[in-house]
């Protein structure tokens, strides 16, 4: 199901509502560029986790330790102000007979980040999707982001980072595994 696009006419109306002239030289192509940009920034509505995650049995038969991918770029937009928030995600899981292509974890982040979001929901959506489609022993997701709605307006708290986490399966009950995951995620370098 495709979401409805915010048309170039909508962007022209928006510019007029700001007191701008959409026919001014510097703004002539802005409605087209803005419509194209927002279509890309919200492409996650047309993505499904099941289509993104390619699961393999080969390679996981005897592997039962953590697999962690760190520093996955996160670019999203706050649903409250439509302002960008950005940072990184770290995702880890302990397989139970299946593994996922590592690049698919980045695609899974994009699937949910390229929607209007709050960071808390984004974190649990990624974790739940991985748990559902891969069915591992454990899943951990940690996201660190800066929010321009806080940095550029209101409190103007520049450089603050919001950290959210979702720990599912054995990461909830196994303290040693939880500690290992968080150490791997938080190690610099």
- Catalytic center residues: 78-81, 119, 147, 149
Judged by DSSP in three states, 101 sits in coil
Residue 59 DSSP class: T
- Evaluate whether 44 touches 112 at the Cβ level (below 8 Å): yes
Nearest to 88 by CA among 153, 162, 187: 162
Name the token pair of 113: 């980040």
DSSP H stretches of helix in 59-188: 102-113, 119-134, 148-151, 170-173, 175-186
CA torsion, points 94, 110, 146, 130, in degrees to nearest 10? -20
CA-to-CA distance for 43 and 85, rounded, in angstroms?
A: 16
How many Å is the Cα radius of gyration of the chain? 20
Q: Report how far apart, in Å, the C-alpha atoms of 10 and of each of 5, 20, 21, 42, 113 are.
A: 10, 14, 14, 16, 24
């Amino acid at each position: 199901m495709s979401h409805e696009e915010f048309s170039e006419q909508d962007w022209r109306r928006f510019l007029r509502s700001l007191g701008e002239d959409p026919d001014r030289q510097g703004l002539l192509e802005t409605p087209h560029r803005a419509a194209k940009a927002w279509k890309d920034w919200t492409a996650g509505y047309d993505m499904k986790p099941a289509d993104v995650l390619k699961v393999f049995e080969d390679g996981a038969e005897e592997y039962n330790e953590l697999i962690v991918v760190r520093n996955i770029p996160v670019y999203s937009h706050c649903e409250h102000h439509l302002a960008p928030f950005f940072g990184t995600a770290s995702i880890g899981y302990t397989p139970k007979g299946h593994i996922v292509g590592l690049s698919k974890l980045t695609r899974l982040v994009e699937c949910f980040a390229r929607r209007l979001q709050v960071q808390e929901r984004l974190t649990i959506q990624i974790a739940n999707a991985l748990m559902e489609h891969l069915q591992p022993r454990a899943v951990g997701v940690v996201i660190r982001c800066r929010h321009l709605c806080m940095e550029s307006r209101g409190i103007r708290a520049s450089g603050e980072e919001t950290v959210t986490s979702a720990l599912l399966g054995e990461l909830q009950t196994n303290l040693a595994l939880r500690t290992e995951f968080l150490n791997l995620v938080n190690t610099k370098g």
